Amino acid sequence: MVAVGLQATASLPISIRSITKRYGAFTALDAVDLEVDSGEFLTLLGPSGSGKTTLLMVLAGFIRPESGTVLFGERDVSLAPPHKRDVGMVFQNYALFPHMSVAGNVAYPLKLRSIPKAEVGRRVREALELVQLGTLGERRIDQLSGGQRQRVALARAIVFEPRILLMDEPLSALDKKLREEMQIEVRNLHRRLGLTTVYVTHDQREALTMSDRVAVIDGGRVRQIGRPRDIYERPDSRFIAEFIGESQFLPVVLRDGAAWLDSHRLAVERPPPTAQGAHLLVVRPEKLTVLPAADSGHGLNLFEGTVKEVVYQGESSLVYVSLAGGLELSVRRPSRGADAVPVAPGAPIRMGLAPADVVIVPAELHP
């Protein structure tokens, strides 16, 4: 995006304290605590019905919780109506006015704030330039593509220079290619303006691509929060490992400070959990290496089995493997490149997992 016009504003931190929201017997949010740093891009990630959009609507003021507190900076906004919170909002369906032009839509929040007409024109031009729609101000909304409508909604949300930006799955209606392009543009816009941003999505890749931190929500609770790499590489529960990325699980037992897979002691880089007993080894297909027959696999955790099936998926292939005892694993291999060890259904196969890639989680679904 072109860095023009609108300037970075003094963003605000957000403090969410013990927020609870119920609908009859259903608890949508269960005493949620969450801190968002000033200028941070935080994504609320979770499956449908997890509570992520409910939490965003609480921040926006459209839903009032039964209990708890929301602070924007030092200001308690728990009871403030939406128009008194001074936040920019981008909705899933964009919520644009079809009877207004592009410029009219972007100007709307400024007119509500009684901004002088000359100032309105300047800010609208700058906002449209920022989202690369500088020449489309007079166009009607029904003449725009989905991606252009998304840009208009974004320009309208930032034109009055809010200190917090809330976004509810704004890219969900776009096709894959445009969605990926817009992910980068939204991220660049955040870096340009420095707005504290809370973004809702159910798309794991989108969350990993865009965020400073990700809060994974399920059952109305924050299950894990951290940097995208930490969430992906170090899930702390089976739910997180299953929800983010491809994962498979092998039963392990923790005893005497070590992790055991059957009679084999796993080589680990980080100490395993302190709780003893049954746990699960998380194995991501791309973390496994197919070993040539002459490779001893020294230092790796080794798995031997028989190839069941090889599924070609374009840039990579997924190899399904039967292990002893009825267990199964799959390994993802590039379709071309250095990994040239041939595999075929019925052939024996040896795979290695580096100690740094060993992740062990409790056996139960939720922590």
Q: What number is the average pLDDT over the span 131-139?
A: 89
Assess contact for 161 and 122: CB atoms under 8 A.
no
Q: What number is the average pLDDT over the span 54-66?
A: 97
Give pLDDT, residue 337.
61
Is residue 138 predicted with pLDDT exceeding 60? Answer: yes
Mean residue pLDDT of the chain comes to: 90
Give pLDDT, residue 335.
77
Tokens of 156: 């309208």
Give pLDDT, residue 3.
38
**CATH code, 14-233:** 3.40.50.300
pLDDT single digits (tens) 224-263: 999 999 999 999 999 999 999 899 999 999 988 889 998 8
Assess contact for 250 and 301: CB atoms under 8 A.
no
Is residue 277 predicted with pLDDT exceeding 90? Answer: no
Q: What number is the average pLDDT over the span 156-170?
A: 93
State residue 348 phi and psi, 5-degree precision.
-70, 155
pTM: 0.89
Give pLDDT, residue 340.
57
Is residue 117 predicted with pLDDT exceeding 90? Answer: no
In the chain, ranges of CATH 2.40.50.100 domains: 247-362
pLDDT single digits (tens) 319-366: 999 998 889 999 998 877 645 567 889 999 999 999 999 999 998 766
CA 141 – CA 143 distance, rounded (Å): 5
Closest CA to 168 of 39, 56, 333, 28: 56
Encoded amino acid at 343, one letter: V
Could you name the CATH architecture of 247-362? Beta Barrel (2.40)
Give pLDDT, residue 2.
34
CA 247 – CA 230 distance, rounded (Å): 15
Is residue 8 predicted with pLDDT exceeding 80? Answer: no
Give pLDDT, residue 4.
42
Give pLDDT, residue 273.
76
Is residue 193 predicted with pLDDT exceeding 60? Answer: yes
In the chain, ranges of CATH 3.40.50.300 domains: 14-233
Assess contact for 297 and 353: CB atoms under 8 A.
no
